[in-house]
C-alpha cells in the first residue's frame, strides 16, 4: 500500500513527487513516456512554453536553476498585442524565458528522487474508494494493474479524470479547446504576439517564435465551430503578414479558465487536486507553470503534517493563490471587453514604442 498516489507527472505532479519523496511511500502514474519525450519531443504537451516571471520566482524559491538545454531561442523582450476586431496594436515589455516544453517536463521529472515509484506510459483509468483507502486501475502496455494508496492527488491536467470522478461539476471552471500549429519560417520573429477578436473567441490567440518555427494557436470556446474559427484567425493573421504557409505539426489540448478560486473539497476526504486539474491557472493569460508549482508546494506543506485532515490544511495554504485568481478575474474586462481594451491600448499606458512600428 502506498501512502500517496499522484496521477500525472506534469509540472505539478513531478514537483509534488519530488517534495514528498523523503517522507512518504509515493507512486507517480503518468500516461506519457516522459523519458522518450525528453529525447524526441514526442508526446510533448501542446503548450506555448513561455516561463513567466512568477514561475521563475517559484523556481528560485525552490532553489532550482534552469539547465541550458531546456531553453530555446529566440529570447523575447516585447509582446505585440493586436486587436484584430478593432484594428489596433501595441507593444508591451515582457520578461518570459522561451522553453522547449518537452525538455522542461523531462527536466522536472528527472529531479524526482529514486525513492518514488514511477509508472510511465501508464494510464490511470479509474479510482475506487475501498474502506479507508483507494484502489487505482492502471492500464500499462495493454495490461491492467491495481495499486492501493491512502491518499490520491490528481495532477492530471485540464481534462482531469480525478476531477471528473470525485469533484462536483463546477460550471465556473470553463474548459476551452486550444489548437496550435507549428510553421517553419525563414527567420524568427522578434515578438511574441497575442491576438484578440471576440468574434472568434472570448479568450485569445497567440504566435510564439521557437527556433526555426513559429507556433500559432488560440484558446477557443469548445463546440462552437472551433476549427472554423481557428482557420478564420489564420486567414486574418496571413493578411497581417504572418508567414503561415508550411505547417509542420498540428496539436490540441484542453485549457481551463477558472472564473473563481478552485473548490478543493471532494466527498472522500483523502483526495485532492493540484495544478490545472484543480483550476490553478491564470484566467487572464493562461499562464499555468507558476500555479502548478505553487499548488504543489501548498499540498506538500499540508501533507508534511500527516495524511489525516490534509485537505483543509491545503485549502489554507492556497489562500494567497485563491486571492490571486480572484484578482486576475477582476483584470479580465480590461483585456477582454472590446471597448475597455481599446481605451487601454489607445492610452498607450505602459506601451513600448518599437522603432519603425509606431502607430
Ligand atoms: C496551448 C497551451 C499553451 C500554454 N502555454 C503556456 C505557457 O506558455 N506558459 C505557461 O505558464 N502555461 C502555459 N499553458 C498552461 C500550462 O501548460 C499548464 O497550466 C501546466 O502544464 C499545468 O501543469 P499540470 O502539471 O497541472 O498539468 P499538465 O502539464 O497538463 O500535466 C498533466 C499530466 O497528467 C498526465 N495525465 C493526464 N491524465 C492522466 C491519467 N488518467 N493517467 C496518467 N497520467 C495522466 C498527462 O499526460 C500530463 O503529463 C498552456 C496551456 C495550453 C493548453
Q: How much of the chain exceeds pLDDT 90, in percent?
A: 87
* Residue 5: closest CA among 158, 117, 161, 105: 117
CA of 276 to the centre of ligand 1 (A): 7
Average pLDDT over residues 248-267: 91
- Nearest ligand 1 atom to the CA of 99 is 8
Contact assessment for residue 130 and residue 116, using Cβ atoms and an 8 Å cutoff: no
Residue nearest to atom 27 of ligand 1 (CA): 157
CA of 10 to the centre of ligand 1 (A): 6
d(CA 114, CA 257): 35
Check residue 359 and give its pLDDT. 60
d(CA 265, CA 224): 31
Quickly count: other Cβ atoms within 10 Å of residue 355's Cβ.
Answer: 5
d(CA 270, CA 178): 32
Residue nearest to atom 19 of ligand 1 (CA): 288
Report whether pLDDT(28) > 70. Answer: yes
Classified by CATH at the fold level, domain 2-347 comes out as FAD/NAD(P)-binding domain (3.50.50)
d(CA 190, CA 238): 17
Contact assessment for residue 105 and residue 66, using Cβ atoms and an 8 Å cutoff: no
CB proximity list for 292: less than 8 A, separation 6 or greater: 10, 11, 12, 15, 155, 274, 275, 276, 280
Average pLDDT over residues 278-282: 98
Q: Where are the domains of the chain?
A: 2-347
Sign for the CA dihedral angle at 94, 43, 58, 63 comes to negative
Cell numbers given for 287: 499562464
CA of 9 to the centre of ligand 1 (A): 9
CA of 342 to the centre of ligand 1 (A): 32
Check residue 358 and give its pLDDT. 67
**Is residue 189 classed exposed, middle or buried when 0-12, 13-18 and 19+ CB atoms within 10 A define those classes?**
middle
pLDDT tens digits, residue range 197-225? 999 999 999 999 999 999 999 999 988 89
pLDDT tens digits, residue range 40-91? 555 689 999 999 999 999 999 999 999 999 999 999 999 999 999 999 999 9
- Segment 39-47 long-range contacts (CB within 8 Å, at least 24 positions apart): 39/106, 40/102, 41/100, 41/102, 41/103, 42/102, 43/102, 44/101, 44/102, 44/105, 45/10, 45/101, 45/102, 45/105, 45/157, 45/253, 46/178, 46/180, 46/217, 46/251, 46/252, 46/253, 47/101, 47/253
Sign for the CA dihedral angle at 215, 258, 153, 122 comes to negative
CA of 277 to the centre of ligand 1 (A): 9
Check residue 171 and give its pLDDT. 86
- Nearest ligand 1 atom to the CA of 125 is 41
Confidence of residue 196 (pLDDT cuts 50, 70, 90): very high
Pocket around ligand 1 at a 6 A CB cut-off: 7-13, 29-32, 45-50, 52, 55, 123-124, 155-157, 161, 178, 180, 217, 253, 255, 275-277, 281, 286-289, 292
Check residue 41 and give its pLDDT. 52
- Nearest ligand 1 atom to the CA of 52 is 11
- Nearest ligand 1 atom to the CA of 291 is 19
Amino acid at each position: 500500500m502506498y501512502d500517496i498516489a499522484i496521477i500525472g507527472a506534469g509540472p505539478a505532479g513531478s514537483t509534488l513527487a519530488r517534495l514528498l519523496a523523503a517522507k512518504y511511500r509515493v507512486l507517480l502514474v503518468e500516461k506519457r513516456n516522459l523519458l522518450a519525450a525528453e529525447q524526441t519531443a514526442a508526446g510533448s504537451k501542446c503548450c506555448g512554453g513561455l516561463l513567466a516571471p512568477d514561475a521563475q520566482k517559484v523556481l528560485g524559491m525552490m532553489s532550482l536553476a534552469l539547465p541550458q538545454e531546456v531553453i530555446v531561442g529566440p529570447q523575447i523582450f516585447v509582446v505585440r498585442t493586436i486587436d484584430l476586431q478593432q484594428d489596433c496594436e501595441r507593444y508591451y515589455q515582457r520578461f518570459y524565458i522561451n522553453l522547449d516544453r518537452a525538455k522542461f517536463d523531462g527536466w522536472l521529472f528527472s529531479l524526482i528522487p529514486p525513492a518514488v515509484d514511477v509508472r510511465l506510459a501508464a494510464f490511470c483509468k479509474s479510482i475506487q474508494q475501498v474502506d479507508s483507502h483507494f484502489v487505482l486501475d492502471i492500464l500499462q502496455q495493454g495490461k491492467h494493474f491495481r495499486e492501493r494508496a491512502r491518499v490520491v492527488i490528481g495532477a492530471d491536467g485540464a481534462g482531469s479524470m480525478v476531477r471528473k470522478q470525485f469533484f462536483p461539476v463546477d460550471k465556473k471552471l470553463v474548459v476551452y479547446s486550444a489548437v496550435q500549429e507549428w510553421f517553419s519560417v525563414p527567420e524568427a520573429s522578434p515578438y511574441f504576439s497575442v491576438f484578440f477578436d471576440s468574434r472568434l473567441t472570448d479568450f485569445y490567440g497567440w504566435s510564439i517564435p521557437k527556433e526555426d518555427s513559429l507556433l500559432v494557436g488560440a484558446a477557443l470556446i469548445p463546440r462552437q465551430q472551433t476549427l472554423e474559427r481557428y482557420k478564420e484567425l489564420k486567414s486574418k493573421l496571413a493578411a497581417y503578414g504572418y508567414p503561415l504557409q508550411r505547417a509542420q505539426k498540428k496539436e490540441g489540448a484542453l485549457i481551463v479558465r477558472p472564473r473563481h478560486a478552485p473548490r478543493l473539497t471532494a466527498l472522500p476526504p483523502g483526495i485532492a487536486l493540484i495544478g490545472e486539474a484543480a483550476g490553478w491557472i491564470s484566467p487572464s493569460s493562461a499562464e499555468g507553470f507558476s500555479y502548478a508549482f505553487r499548488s504543489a508546494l501548498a499540498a506538500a506543506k499540508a501533507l508534511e503534517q500527516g495524511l489525516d485532515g490534509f485537505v483543509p490544511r491545503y485549502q489554507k495554504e492556497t489562500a494567497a493563490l485563491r486571492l490571486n485568481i480572484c484578482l486576475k478575474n477582476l483584470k479580465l474586462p480590461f483585456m477582454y471587453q472590446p471597448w475597455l481594451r481599446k481605451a487601454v491600448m489607445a492610452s498607450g499606458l505602459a506601451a513600448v514604442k518599437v522603432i519603425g512600428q509606431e502607430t
